[in-house]
Amino acid sequence: MGAILDPSDARMTGGGAVNGHLYDVAWFRWLVALCIALPVITVVLGELIHRLQRRDNHLEATARAIRHTVAPALALALFARYVLRIESETWTQVLDTLVWVSAINAALSLVNVVLFQRAEQSTWRARVPRLFLDLTRFLLVVVGATLVLAAVWDSDIGGIMTALGVGTIVIGLALQETLGSIVSGVALLFERPFAEGDWIRVGDTVGRVVDMNWRSVRLRTFDEDIATIPHLMIAKDLILNYTEPAKLHIERISIGFSYDDAPNLVKRTMLDIARSTEGVLMDPPPEVHTLSYDDFSIAYEVRVYVEDYGRLLEIRDDFTTRIWYAAKRAGLTIPFPIRTLHFFDGQTLRADKAASDLAQGLSATTVLLPSETSDLAATGVGATMLHFGAGEYVVRAGDDGGTLYVVVAGRARMVIGGHDDEQIVLTLGRGEFFGELALHHGESSPVSIVATEDVELVALSAEAVQQLMTTRPALAREVDDIAGARRRTIESVQRLGARG
């Protein structure tokens, strides 16, 4: 440090420090100051950025702008002016312009953080789209750069604006698609069909919006991939928003079951599965619809309501997995999409199956003796198996008699009155019969019989019943007693209804 400058250094020091110490020279003091200050500022800003990042503070962006652009640009300008003593006015103006543009960019970043990114969600500032802020910031930087050029370079603003206008036209012709994406992005800002965090579908791509910049929208798909879709493509395609205006989403799941499975049993099973699946809403309730009768199965569609679209794959997987177990428990068959050829005597096989079903159904009744049921099942004359779905009318009040029905499975209700003022007389279950009022007395039915749930019945014709009563008179008396008791019950219900 005690070395004396060579006389040739007088040019750099202005000729006033030939016999002085090195630290007495102005350019050396600037060099030392810059060598110390720039690393210190860089380290301090780096630590500040690290702390802000851990606290998830948006001021991190401003600190980065100062560390990466403003501080280096300012150090470079000071180094060139006071250490290298560059006398070229052009280089000085270039460096000054670089410093001012960097400072303007950092200042706009600070304004953006203070006014918008730290704003509360309930304020209008929080609802300003990021793309609009980016475009506004870019325009302000351009305006600031224009003012800097006018001040530093002593240029005519009118000339600069003219040059910018001509340049804009040339750039616009060269970048038509890119500018089209920007214009489409601005249109999306005003329309706001979605926002960051929404689950949307654009064309065949489904994902959650993670970013929306001046050129494109980025979606994170279910596969954790990032799909980048330009605004120009979004403007030309259909957009489905699964999050707004309501988070409610209907998921449709199709499934096929065998023709041997009663549709209402299938529907009850599917509803039970839906109600037990986590993530499926109970309000609105799930729905099951019969879609079509296909080649090898009856097609059903289950509609479940989901609020968290991000869990859709998980909920769907849980539901479809439970279908197999529930179908096994309920005795339902999910058929293979194949054709099976059977070589048999069709008439014989159908007759054997009908006789077996009839025998099983007749065994449910308590009014017929085993020998009587076996005889009816063997001959099949005057006895038929019938199936009714929940809500269907088996008999309507006023229908002509002539058939006695025995409940094999399920439940039905005996009612009087119309649909709006229906009054239940009694409920009929397995082994009970009805139709005796019209059959025994030869009159039209005074009541209606409605299937409360899916019900299987054996229908006995008047001839078959008459033959049974002829061979066993006690049966006629038993049916007559039941008919009289039910008639009194009907009259009692009618009197109560009249009083009400």
Amino acid at 122: S
**pTM for this entry:** 0.52
Rounded-to-integer distance, Cα 28 and Cα 30, Å: 5
19-34, pLDDT tens digit by residue? Answer: 555 656 788 888 888 8
Phi, psi dihedrals of residue 315, rounded to the nearest 5°: -65, -45
Segment 258-272 shows an average pLDDT of: 91
What pLDDT does 185 receive? Answer: 64
Q: Convert the pLDDT of each residue in 364-414 to its tens digit.
A: 565 565 556 555 655 556 777 888 888 888 888 888 777 888 888 889 999
For residue 6, the model assigns a pLDDT of 43
Higher pLDDT, 161 or 320: 320
Strands (E), 281-392: 287-293, 298-306, 383-388
For residue 73, the Cα-to-chain-centroid distance in whole angstroms is 49
Sheet arrangement for strand 287-293: 249-257, 298-306, 287-293
Q: Is the Cα dihedral 324, 328, 334, 340 positive or negative?
A: positive
Domains parsed from the chain with CATH numbers:
7-174 (no CATH), 193-241 (2.30.30.60), 249-330 (3.30.70.100), 346-499 (2.60.120.10)
